Amino acid sequence: MLVLIGGRSGVPAIAGVLQFLDQVDRIKFLLCIEEQYLQFQKNIEKVIKQERKNLVCDNETDVISVDPNKFDEVYIAAQKLCQGVEQLKYVNLSTVPQSMAFSVYSYVQEKYKDVLVFTVNTDQSQIIPLVFGKQPVAFNKQLTVENYVAMYGFNIFKKKLFHESNIEIIARYIVENIDISRKVLSVIRSNAGSGNSIKAPRGFRIHAEDFTKLRILNSELETFFKQLEVYSIIHKFEILNNIIKFRIETKENYAFLAGDWLEVFVYSSAKQCSFDSVEMGVEIDNYRGEIDVFCLNSANAMICECKTGGKLDADDLSVLSSKAEKLGGNYCVKLFITSEGVVGEEFLNKARNNRVVVVSGNELIRMSNILGKEMQSPTYPRR
């Protein structure tokens, strides 16, 4: 197989290789002559060899860099790469400049009559044969989030794990009762000092009036707290003389109430979509910050930033965009998910400018449908 590399993402290149990986024993690379593409090639080779350890690729003879705008030089480079190759089965022309693609196409069509030349449609997760009468075919191989991150030269050094299905159930309960949830959880955060962490265990005493003045009925309030207790998020809940008492035993349980519930809900919703790989709380080496929910399907990535409590800040969009930039740029779909019911027009405009889809609290109940739609047919096409 001959693979061309010259675009802003390694996804089309690796998707094409994985599609036919079981049918080839050697892979050759023709790169645009810039350092970043050599790094792409190394990363892609690393991931591919994780899937197929005996695949041959000799960096001395199977990798050539060339000026993509010099038609003859590209032609000669392709000729050199294929010297001694009697049967070339596949050629992936995705993402490189047209002059480079045309040069390689003309060479392989002259030399190898049975070669399948193709490109990759990342938006629709398809291989597009550049042959009259041959129809597009869907991607047939899966990558993990770890594979994808490695393709960009990074490693995951930390991710959140949880093993109790109860935590997903209570996260869904919070979303199904989002109007009450927002109010109750904001009071708890305020009482705790508005931070995302507390010293646990810790007891809470909150006046019922702090909740009822937000137009929460006593019956609704009691039901909500009892649900939290049933699923062991809080303990020793009681209402006595208009004082609500309860304990939070662990920092993790408080973090859940302070905002992790939204990450858990989005993660759970993504799993329902049957994506190839979904991870939560991903931290990448040599990069500050966390990717709240990372989804991968048919080699296409989608990252989600989850925000609860507090005013929405345009800086949050910049942080999300900077994360995506390191993981494929516009090939990486970006979602900003907030518990807020109403999102201001100014924030939405900035999100559009950053090619970020905003999901408000009132839309959370449709989270699985939204994730599935954005993965399959994103609002802002991958390019």
What's the pLDDT tens digit per position in 220-264? 999 999 999 999 999 999 999 999 999 999 999 999 999 999 999
Residue 93 pLDDT > 80: yes
> Is the CATH number 2.40.30.10 carried by domain 142-176+187-199+258-383?
no
Beta strands 300-307 and 63-66, pairing class: unpaired
Which range, of 87-91, 156-160, 194-198, averages the lowest pLDDT?
194-198
| Residue 229: per-residue pLDDT | 96
Kindly report the CATH class assigned to 2-141.
alpha beta
Boundaries of every domain in the chain: 2-141, 142-176+187-199+258-383
Predicted confidence band at 195 (pLDDT cuts at 50, 70, 90)?
A: low
| Residue 187: per-residue pLDDT | 93
| Residue 13: per-residue pLDDT | 87
Q: What is the pLDDT of residues 338-363, one digit of tens each?
A: 999 989 999 999 999 999 999 999 99
Which pTM value belongs to this model? 0.84
Backbone angles phi, psi at 118, to 5 degrees: -145, 165
Q: What residues are paired with 296 via a beta bridge?
A: 277, 301
CA dihedral 177, 181, 183, 188 (to 10 degrees): 160
CA dihedral 6, 9, 10, 12 (to 10 degrees): -90
Q: DSSP label at 330?
A: G
Domain 2-141 shares a fold with domain 142-176+187-199+258-383: no
